[in-house]
Amino acid sequence: MTNTLASFDSADLRRELRQASQVMPLGWSAGGRRFSFQAPLTLPLMGGGYALLTTAEGTRYLGQVLDRVVTERTGPTWTLEMEQGAGSTPGPVREAQVEVPIRLLEGSGDLLARLDGVELVDIAADDAFREADLAAAPAELVAAFMDRADAGATLLDIGEATAGGRGRLHAEGFARHTFLCGQSGAGKTYALGVVLERLLIQTELRLVVLDPNGDYVGLGSAAENVRVFSREHAPLRLRFDELTPATRAAVVGLDPLRDMDEYAAFDRLAEGRGSLQEVRDAARTEAERVGLRIDNLAIDRWDLWATEGEASVLDSVMGARATVADLSSLDTPEEQALAAGAVLAHLWQRRAERRPALVVIDEAHNVCPAGEPARLGAEARDLVVRIAGEGRKYGLYLLLVTQRPEKLEPNGLTQSDNLILLRLNGAQDVARLASAFSFVAPSLLAEAPSFAKGEALIAGGIVGRPTRARFGGRVSPEGGGDVPTSWARPR
């Protein structure tokens, strides 16, 4: 039997069967400003893309695809009659039945507008249709809708939208907390640089950047009055008397209950003294154990402490257009944690001034970890959580950046209303984001592993509609960067 049917297992036959079983691209809506659809795999409808639906009556609708999945259905069964050539010997099989599976796209999305000629009309909740032809929406129609959706907003052009046209952010959307995530190599640093540049150039929003790797020290070339604290610029320094009493005690490892006598002695010595060295000098005669503690920890030799006449990073936080604190310019994790906490504490202490600021924390899982923070890191973590919960009413907005969402303190993630998601391969990470950002269709998030470098899904108040875009057009030089792979060249 196999030999008898072999002549019919040809490319022409398979092509004919596929064409006969082709899926019609159709959409339908039961109202509620939603639509569902089926389409062949070849129809260019990606998640976040736009569709044009045309009913039998000629009514046209614009929709956005938010959910889609490849499914397989049982197709029709075809009966193939055997052809006998002249002079051939009849075989035992006269006909055969072939079942062809149908693979197709199924999904749903939002109905965005009804077309009245060339005008776009708002969709009503009772707009419904039984059946409509489905096609990818023309780029000019999508552009017209986005112009309508973006009307009145201050737009930040960050690159190209995957669906066509420009990728544009609403500057006003940064008045809510934002979460930017992407694995190593996804283009996260470049993307954040583009966003910060656009905010500097096109708005008056003050920026405070905690930069753990020196990636944003070049922002000074994008705007005036950008203060950068790093090895190549003004050194990153703090004055000891700028710290809160509790933080000063934590620096020397004193607990108010465990070390009651030393804590009280240190608190008395530190009051009114501008530097840790002054405290150490006074401790030689008044509290020897406090002096020994400072010596043993070697904290008086930290580069973080400002000498006489040196500026503190806190001097610029409230006055500069932007402040970039390059934490990598400090040698120890304790100094980095202390500097981050001091900057956040200064912003919080002066919150009543209600001066809007975007607080950007790269590698935020180090500043606000899900687990126990490093030594001297508790203040920074607690302040991030507090700003996440209460900061907006004072004009303090967070932009938290990380590679791994599960390493970030949960309150820092769930309080974010905006999402910028670059390539992310971890299934658990994607699931965590789907739980935290319930306003984003899970199927859009599920496409994150397939994103190209520099491509991102953007959702929330910073865009008119969920958007996939590729970042581009950075102005300032990118600091940091990966080690070049010149070692891989053939010898």
Closest CA to 111 of 22, 188, 168, 28: 28
What is the dihedral angle through the alpha carbons of 118, 122, 128, 130, rounded to the nearest 10 degrees? 20
- The answer to whether the CB of 181 falls within 8 A of the CB of 197 is no
Give the predicted TM-score (pTM) of the model: 0.87
Residue 130 tokens read as 């039984």
End-to-end CA distance of the chain: 60
> 355 exposed, middle or buried (CB, 10 Å; 0-12, 13-18, 19+)?
middle
Separation between Cα atoms, residue 397 and residue 67, nearest integer Å: 31
Render 198-231 in DSSP notation, one character per residue: HHHHH---EEEEEESSSTTGGGGGTSSSEEEEST
Angle between helices 333-349 and 378-390 (to 10 degrees): 30
- The answer to whether the CB of 340 falls within 8 A of the CB of 210 is yes
- The answer to whether the CB of 252 falls within 8 A of the CB of 299 is yes
> 224 exposed, middle or buried (CB, 10 Å; 0-12, 13-18, 19+)?
exposed
Residue 424 tokens read as 């992310």
Separation between Cα atoms, residue 199 and residue 80, nearest integer Å: 66
pLDDT of residue 290: 86
Q: Where are the domains of the chain?
A: 2-141, 156-238+312-480, 246-300
**DSSP H helical ranges for 274-377:** 276-286, 288-297, 314-317, 333-349, 364-367
Name the CATH topology of 156-238+312-480.
Rossmann fold (3.40.50)
Separation between Cα atoms, residue 291 and residue 300, nearest integer Å: 10
Separation between Cα atoms, residue 469 and residue 456, nearest integer Å: 6
130-133-135 Cα angle (round to 5):
135
What does the pLDDT profile of the chain (491 residues) look like in tens digits? 333 333 455 666 666 656 666 788 999 999 999 999 999 988 888 889 999 999 999 999 999 999 999 898 876 666 666 555 555 555 555 566 666 678 889 999 999 999 998 899 999 888 899 999 999 999 999 999 999 999 999 999 999 998 888 999 999 999 999 999 999 999 999 999 999 999 999 999 999 999 999 999 999 898 999 999 999 999 999 999 999 888 999 999 988 889 898 889 888 888 888 888 888 888 877 788 888 988 898 998 999 999 888 899 999 999 999 999 999 999 999 999 999 999 999 999 999 999 999 999 999 999 999 998 988 999 999 999 999 999 999 999 999 999 989 999 998 889 999 999 999 998 888 999 999 999 999 999 999 999 999 999 999 999 999 999 999 888 777 766 655 656 566 76
